[in-house]
Every structure is written in C-alpha cells, then in structure tokens.
C-alpha cells in the first residue's frame, strides 16, 4: 500500500526566504510522485511530477522537487518565496500502475512581508 | 476546452435527502475519480473509473454510488445524505501521461 506523510501542517516563511515543504512516501513498488497546490476556494493545480528519469524535477512558478529513493522523500523547494505562493500544498503518490492517487494531509504555506 | 466541469458548486441538503454531483470532462480521458476533502485529512478517494462501464471503490465509498455510462460523464450520487458527508468534493480525470486534472470543487453542506 502507498502512503504519504507531510511534515508540518503549517509552514511560515518571510518573503524572499527559502521554501521547503517536506514529503515522505511509502510504496512497495516504484512510485510516481506529485505536488499539487490549492489556492483558497479553488481546485488543485499540478506543480510538478516525478515518474521516471531525472530525480530533480522542475515545476511551475519556480518550484522544484528531488526524488530521493534512499530517503523515500520528495521534498518541495523554492529559492525565494513570493506573497503569491501562500496556499496549501499537497504531496501525492501512486504506484507506477496508477490505479489510485494517495494524498498527504497538506501543508499550508504562509508568507509574510 | 472546458477541462473538468463540476456542478453544482454549492449545495445545502437536509439529512436523508439524495442528490447527484455532476462531473464532465471533454478531454477523452478514460480514468476519472471522485475525492472528498476535509480539514486536516487531505483528499480521500471515494470512487474511480478506468473507462465506460467500469467503476471501483476507493478509500471512503460508503454512502456514495457512481456510474460511468459514457467516457465524458462520471456522476456521484449521495443516496441518503448525512452530516458526515459535509465536505468539498472534487472530480478529476487523468491523461495518458498520468497527469490528473481537477474540477473546481463542489461545496456540500448537510444539515
């Protein structure tokens, strides 16, 4: 079975600071991994995904994530936070056969001026 | 290209009433699914479908029915609404590159 753990339900950063949102996964088979962003009262938007190949994945809005199999992690980073990055972020995992996408509980990113 | 369209966006039901949340996609995706989102619990899969005529249960299927008579539509039926079904519901479809597209959500309150 697959599962995802997101450490920290809330993360606060100052504008211009590094953003680091943590995600650890559990999967019995090679996983596909995703990060989604949700702005208030909206649906989820894909930030980036890892399926196969390069372990450093670049996404939209300057975000990137690195798949580390040895650490079973897929942490999301952005070098410099913008006010517009304030949102809720979800990590998700699915086995490579892709029947079910399992989400973490989400991390709310707060950005202060 | 409308993507994934959900209706209604907001609904208030009384306990025991039934209703259907509609979901349609115009991208010819075979895979569609329904999730519910509750505070602190992320998104949980209710039901999914890998093609017309094929549906299967997800993590929290009780109290919900689905059908998939066409590729485009995947309605979610609440048989007898309960306050525990107060939630935000998202429909999603998936393309051949395993990218999932979400609708904008349906806010349901059961009183």
**B23 contact partners, CB below 8 Å, separation of at least 6:** B4, B5, B6, B32, B34, B73, B74, B75, B76, B91, B103
- Distance from the Cα of residue A109 to its chain's centroid: 12
For residue A42, name the pLDDT band (cuts at 50, 70, 90).
Answer: confident
Within 20-79 of A, beta carbons closer than 8 Å to B belong to: 32, 34, 36, 41-46, 49, 51
Average pLDDT on B61-68 reads 97
Give pLDDT tens digits for B5-51: 999 999 999 999 999 999 999 999 999 999 999 988 889 999 999 99
Per cent of chain B over pLDDT 90 is: 87
Distance CA A78, CA A61 (A): 9
Alpha-carbon distance A16 to nearest alpha carbon in chain B (angstroms): 28
> For residue A38, what pLDDT is reported?
94
Among left, alpha and beta (phi > 0; psi -120 to 50; other), residue A32 is beta
> For residue A1, what pLDDT is reported?
73
Q: Is B111 on the interface with A (CB under 8 A)?
A: no
Give pLDDT tens digits for A54-102: 889 999 999 999 999 999 999 999 999 999 999 999 999 987 666 678 8
Distance CA B102, CA A58 (A): 21
Nearest-CB residue to B98 (from A44, A98, A102): A98
Q: Is B104 on the interface with A (CB under 8 A)?
A: yes
Per-residue pLDDT at B1 exceeds 60: no
Mutate to test the interface with B, among A40, A43, A102 (most CBs of B within 10 A): A43
Distance CA B29, CA B71 (A): 7
Q: Do A94 and B98 touch (CB under 8 A)?
A: yes
Q: Is B39 on the interface with A (CB under 8 A)?
A: no
Nearest-CB residue to A49 (from B43, B56, B99): B99
- Say how many Å lie between the first and final Cα of chain A, rounded: 41
Mutate to test the interface with A, among B4, B6, B42 (most CBs of A within 10 A): B42
């Amino acid at each position: 079975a697959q599962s995802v753990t997101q450490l920290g339900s809330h993360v606060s950063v100052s504008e211009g600071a590094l953003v680091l949102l943590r995600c650890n996964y559990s999967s019995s088979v090679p996983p596909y991994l995703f990060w989604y962003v949700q702005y208030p009262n909206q649906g989820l938007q894909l930030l980036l995904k890892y399926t196969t190949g390069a372990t450093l994945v670049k996404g939209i809005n300057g975000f990137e994530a690195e798949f580390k199999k040895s650490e079973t992690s897929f942490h999301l980073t952005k070098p410099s936070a913008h006010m517009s990055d304030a949102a809720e972020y979800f990590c998700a995992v699915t086995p490579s056969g892709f029947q079910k996408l399992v989400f973490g509980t989400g991390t709310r990113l707060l950005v202060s001026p | 290209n409308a993507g994934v369209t959900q209706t209604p966006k907001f609904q208030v039901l009384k306990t025991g009433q039934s209703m259907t949340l509609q979901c349609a996609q115009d991208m010819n995706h075979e895979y569609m699914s329904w999730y519910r989102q509750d505070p602190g619990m992320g998104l949980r899969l209710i039901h999914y479908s890998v093609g017309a005529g094929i549906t299967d249960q997800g993590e929290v299927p009780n109290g919900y029915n689905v059908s998939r008579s066409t590729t485009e539509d995947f309605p979610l039926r609440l048989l007898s609404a309960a306050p525990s079904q107060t939630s935000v519901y998202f429909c999603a479809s998936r393309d051949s590159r395993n990218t999932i597209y979400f609708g904008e959500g349906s806010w349901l309150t059961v009183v």
